[in-house]
A and B are shown apart, each in its own frame.
Chain A
């Protein structure tokens, strides 16, 4: 172990993980390169595009602006975990049926960002959805279909909650 490497122990998608990481390694690189969780994508690596969005202790963060060592003792959730738990199943289905993704590269981050809004409950306006997703860059769709899919999911969840 070099003098810039540290041991970290954290939970990733419910699984205990212990690894040695370089101090400079980002959480996104750790997830992708060390753990093989490649659903977390890298679009800009300077915190603008939102493609690397993951949850850290339940709150969405930029995986490229978070260091792996900062996650010691914390709980990380990625798109793979949120898919396997079925937490996002309705939102993912709405994205599929509405074609709210084209190349799919922004989609994992977009889904986690949208889910954060949806978890607040209620049915956000299209404007609120657009503002909430404004940290996630999509080059393909023009966003309209994404707003449709998030709105439809919010309406369906609100309907079934009643």
Chain B
């Protein structure tokens, strides 16, 4: 491996000299992190800060008869012991529903359980002490008298008449259901030569962010203001929610988000134990800190997936797909998570299934039910891994049935690259995708024919290797259609405010935030290119609701595409303002000047006219020398939200090459490829690393990760020794390629890239496994994760 340094581009893709767009500029400020000098919430210490630990329900479902805290209150260091009813005096409860998910329902949820715990791990009492260790000591002294109640755990029977209803006021255990039908499905199946049906199962898994959830709330009674240091993806959303449920104005709440040790969708939700922290600070008039320990994380961080999808495809002998049908069932725990709801993932499964293909005969339905397990909600690539694995699994099964190569059947059915704009059978709209170009590129990158030949040769030696391919689409750059239209105060627009400082450097305040994906670098690249300065002269301010324009934060692959465009526009606006100042100093025409490499130049000749430091000096310190009536405007703010399309869909294709040990059931990943199209690529290295990291998260769900519950609703493997995550030794090298179809919705043309990897990987692994084991007559592997035991079972060896 030779690491090549980034080189300046000769000509800008976006028609600006010295552009950083399209360059692999290293992220600013990384030395801070490589030296261990980051500033994570878990590192942060405030004066008079106390720590909270929670008494958590050991039962999946239990009535709380009484709580005796007398002994705990006497324990060394304890400051307060607070029950649900006590906390509810300062914090209002919530319900996780959105109006655009028709019929969705959930129950009122409190920060700390009032009289009933609904999952194992739900907080039932808070203990606040001078140290976390002292708080944990006292947790053990709180006596809770529980009356265990029947636990609803099996999603298949959650709606049965004999199953208890978790929240009687809701009438049943149904949260959300949707049916969608397009084209003529029955006719489509009649027209098929072959119909293939199977049931895909996707295990529950979770995010396992390296830094657990962490929050410090500091209510200052003198200022009547709350400052929250929070490892969150959405600072402004949390500002709104903290204010709302503490009956404060938003301006009384400041959310500060510095370094966040991984998010992936885990840290974009409202967690009751975090809401309790802000309420406790309000009650105690001092800073309160909560950092989940890993055992708490496993039973309280949102879980994801947990879908059972019955699926059917019709195909003609010539490979034409004639109809699709899916029926998705998912269990989401006892509450729909606030404020984004737990109905979105199943809704996405219905939206995204069959999306890359021309066949419009599609029947999709989903049923979302409640259970007494930890809550389930949106995690990286929401719904995509399910929809992609189901769709691509069906396509491979159809190909197998008619004896066609998996690549050939895709060629015959993927929407043509010149057929856009196009609409998927679910009604979602695509501006411009490139399925065929991506597939062509993939086949070259992986040497598909060569691998097929190698596969055949090795099979003769008893070595079983498989190739699995998935074509997919990814939702990025969401407009208000995602949450805003449903009534949630989650901003889909984002703002950037750019100012010239007194030395001619640039400061950019942006509403998007950083979890390590490189948003800071992308903003700096865009701002430097747009305004016209070397990137070293740009400083980015993010993650502080007091000091950034209102914005949505970082989720749904929106930071570069939406926040980036706002920064691009702000840079242009500030350039115009600064050139107006320069023009008045130089007595020149503003239109004849430009800013390049930090210097005001003649646009035509590139000749230097005046440095930005000199412009700034005059504007700030000698405005008296400027013409009468001229006011320099040295800060410009622009906002952006996609309007032409509800989402900027991206597309891509992934391939897995793996080997199965048919004696042990172990799977060795030999190589993985991804070709994706995220429109304009602002920073190729950052895009590639998003794709790689996403793929490995997808592989985790396909091969290792599974939150195992018993029938009583007890999680059986809630620790990192028993819950397996991908480690370096098992992961393959991953090659990434690109096709570029910019969105015309913005000048930058950038779409998101954060979730493509996770979307396509599980299906690729599944298809490769079945491809490997097909000659052995193995049963189809359709239940994730594909553990060695399941592989051996498919082979009939156990």
| Chain A residues within 8 Å of B, Cβ to Cβ | 22, 24, 32, 37-49, 51, 78-80, 83, 88, 92, 94-99, 101-108, 111, 126, 129-131, 133-149, 151-152, 155
Contact = CB atoms under 8 A, between A and B. Distances in A.
A95 B27 CA distance: 11
Contacts of B30: 95-96, 99, 101, 104
8 contacts: A41-B210, A44-B719, A45-B294, A49-B210, A99-B26, A99-B686, A142-B693, A142-B757
A142 B262 contact: no
Nearest to B521: A99
A39 B42 CA distance: 11
Contacts of A92: 31, 34-35
A134 B209 contact: no
B262 A139 contact: yes
A143 B35 CA distance: 19
A140 B3 contact: no
A80 B1 contact: no
Nearest to A98: B3
Given A105-B40, A144-B731, A94 B3 contact: yes
Contacts of A134: 727-730
Which of B264, B697, B721, B729 has the most chain A CB within a 10 Å cutoff?
B729
Given A41-B211, A43-B211, A149 B697 contact: no
Interface in B311-364: none
Given A99-B686, A105-B261, A139-B697, A80 B35 contact: yes
Interface in B15-53: 26-27, 30-38, 40, 42-43
Given A32-B43, A103-B259, A152-B3, A43 B35 contact: no
Which of B37, B515, B728 has the most chain A CB within a 10 Å cutoff?
B728
Contact of A131 (B264, B515, B729): B729
Given A24-B133, A92-B34, 16 more contacts: A22-B133, A96-B31, A97-B26, A107-B33, A134-B727, A134-B728, A137-B725, A137-B727, A139-B725, A140-B516, A141-B689, A142-B693, A142-B694, A142-B726, A147-B1, A148-B3
Contacts of A147: 1, 728, 733
Interface string B706-736: 0000000000000111000111111101100
A103 B30 CA distance: 10
Contacts of B26: 96-97, 99
Contact of A145 (B27, B692, B697): B692
B726 to A, nearest CB: 8
B690 to A, nearest CB: 8
Contact of A105 (B262, B686, B720, B730): B262
B728 A146 contact: yes
B210 A105 contact: yes
Given A38-B43, A48-B721, A141-B689, A149 B36 contact: no
Interface size class of B (residues with CB under 8 A): 35 or more
Given A94-B3, A103-B261, A131-B729, A142 B34 contact: no
Contacts of A146: 728
Which of A103, A135, A142, A143 has the most chain B CB within a 10 Å cutoff?
A142
B34 A44 contact: no
B721 A126 contact: no
B293 interface: yes
A102 B689 contact: yes
Top 5 A-B pairs, shortest CB-CB distance: A39-B36, A104-B33, A102-B516, A103-B516, A105-B261
B578 to A, nearest CB: 31
Contacts of B444: none
A51 B210 contact: yes
Interface in B233-288: 259-264
Contacts, number: 196
B133 A139 contact: no
A63 B260 CA distance: 21
A126 B728 CA distance: 10
Given A138-B210, A139-B725, A152-B3, A39 B731 contact: no
Contacts of A149: 1, 3
Contacts of A49: 210, 294, 720
B65 interface: no
Interface of B: 1-3, 5, 26-27, 30-38, 40, 42-43, 133, 207-212, 259-264, 293-294, 515-518, 685-686, 689, 692-697, 719-721, 725-731, 733-734, 757
Contacts of A102: 262, 515-518, 689, 693
Given A99-B685, A105-B211, A39 B37 contact: yes
A152 B207 CA distance: 30
A156 to B, nearest CB: 9
B210 A106 contact: yes
Contacts of B5: 97
Nearest to A147: B728
Contact of B36 (A38, A46, A47, A130): A38
A155 B5 CA distance: 16
A140 B693 CA distance: 5
B208 A139 contact: yes
Contacts of B210: 41, 43, 49, 51, 103, 105-106, 137-140
A39 to B, nearest CB: 2
A137 B724 CA distance: 11
A130 B294 contact: no
A124 to B, nearest CB: 12
B651 to A, nearest CB: 21
B682 to A, nearest CB: 14
Contacts of B37: 39, 80, 83
A152 B36 contact: no
B733 A101 contact: no
A137 to B, nearest CB: 6
Nearest to B264: A139
Which of B32, B34, B133, B729 has the most chain A CB within a 10 Å cutoff?
B34
A141 B692 contact: yes
Contacts of B33: 101, 104, 107
Which of A24, A88, A94, A103 has the most chain B CB within a 10 Å cutoff?
A103
B683 to A, nearest CB: 9
Given A46-B720, A139-B210, A104 B729 contact: no
A22 B77 CA distance: 14
Contacts of B43: 32, 38
A152 B695 contact: no
A107 B729 CA distance: 17
B262 A140 contact: yes
B262 A103 contact: yes
A162 B3 CA distance: 20
A93 B686 CA distance: 16
Contacts of B725: 137, 139
Nearest to A37: B36
Contacts of B133: 22, 24
Contacts of B733: 126, 144, 147
Contact of A103 (B3, B211, B694): B211
Given A99-B685, A103-B211, A144-B692, A133 B728 contact: yes
Nearest to A112: B36
Nearest to A129: B728
Contact of B721 (A22, A46, A107, A131): A46
B729 A99 contact: no
Nearest to B723: A48
A147 B2 CA distance: 12
Contact of A104 (B208, B261, B293): B261
B662 to A, nearest CB: 22
A22 B31 CA distance: 34
Given A51-B210, A139-B264, A149-B3, A95 B692 contact: no
Which of A97, A102, A143 has the most chain B CB within a 10 Å cutoff?
A102
Contacts of B515: 102-103
A102 to B, nearest CB: 3
A136 B516 contact: no
Given A32-B43, A45-B293, A142 B695 contact: yes
Contacts of B694: 142
